[in-house]
Amino acid sequence: MKIEILTIFPGMLEGPFGESMIRRAVERGLVEIEIIDLRSFASGRHRQVDDAPYGGGRGMVFKPEPLFKAVETLQERSGGSRARVILLTPQGRTFNQEIARELSGEKRLLLICGRYEGVDERVREVLVDDEISIGDYILTGGELAAAVVVDAVVRLLPGFLEEASVAEESFSGFLLEYPHYTRPPVFRGMAVPPVLLSGDHAAIARWRRKQALLRTRQRRPDLLEKAALSPEDRRLLKEMKL
Ligand code: ADE
């Protein structure tokens, strides 16, 4: 997969992709991430990318010319394969695991980091295939949102995770994680649940599934409704209601 990100603040994105597992994915060739300075497509001495809104009001709006030039140049540069163009904006559909999965099937993504005040509407109408928000709050711009989307998408690429852990999530819904423990077995008087030390793998798997169901029901009942539950899961949930 190739991901191109258009931004006026390239420095904001270098950190998130230069560390940790995303960096490893890049090094292993699972994904190519290119951060592109929108200003390099702006003309004039000041390379101006934004301007005051027609009709007045606060803030600045991204001008159409640099964005059209950037997107058209990037689309042409790569020959036949057209990237899916996504604008990060609070007005977009709310990002979730299902959308992450959908995007992970694309060959090329081109993410446009908008500024909070906005982007000329003609960009939306003509250039953009999809608009995504990462939640109902306002960021100063789309850069952190792009980092979130890239992180969630890249970890789903084939070869990134062990096949088994991806398969566990492969439904549109997912459960919250069961509680995790590591050494020592007793810390400040708090003991690890004995089943985890029992060596009984079937009992451990049952305990974990039950905890995941319980936790999801307590904290995110909305996720439970979307999750693919087995008859055994339903039996466990009933049991826990008592
Ligand atoms: N830009 C500003 N706020 C945003 C949000 N919540 N999601 C995506 N892009 C944004």
Q: Which of 1.10.1270.20, 3.40.50.1860, 3.30.420.40, 2.40.160.10 is the CATH number of 168-241? A: 1.10.1270.20
Task: Determine the Cα angle at 42 with ends 46 and 92, to 5°.
Answer: 120
Q: Is the pLDDT of residue 170 over 90?
A: no
Average pLDDT over residues 128-151: 97
Query: What is the distance in A from the centroid of ligand 1 to the CA of 234?
Result: 37
Q: Kindly list the protein residues whose Cβ atom lies closer than 6 A to any atom of ligand 1.
A: 88-90, 114, 116, 133-135, 137-139, 141-142, 145
Ligand 1 atom index nearest CA of 135: 6
**What's residue 177's pLDDT?**
97
pTM score: 0.93
Residue nearest to atom 7 of ligand 1 (CA): 133
- On average, the pLDDT of the chain sits at 94
Q: Name the residue with the closest Cα to ligand 1, atom 4.
A: 90
**Domain residue ranges of the chain, discontinuous segments joined by +:** 2-154, 168-241
- Options 1.10.3720.10, 3.20.20.370, 3.20.20.140, 3.40.1280.10; CATH for 2-154 is 3.40.1280.10
Q: How far is the CA of 15 from the centre of ligand 1 (A)?
A: 19
Q: Do the domains at 2-154 and 168-241 have one common CATH topology?
A: no
Nearest residue to 154 (alpha-carbon basis) of 14, 24, 10, 5: 24
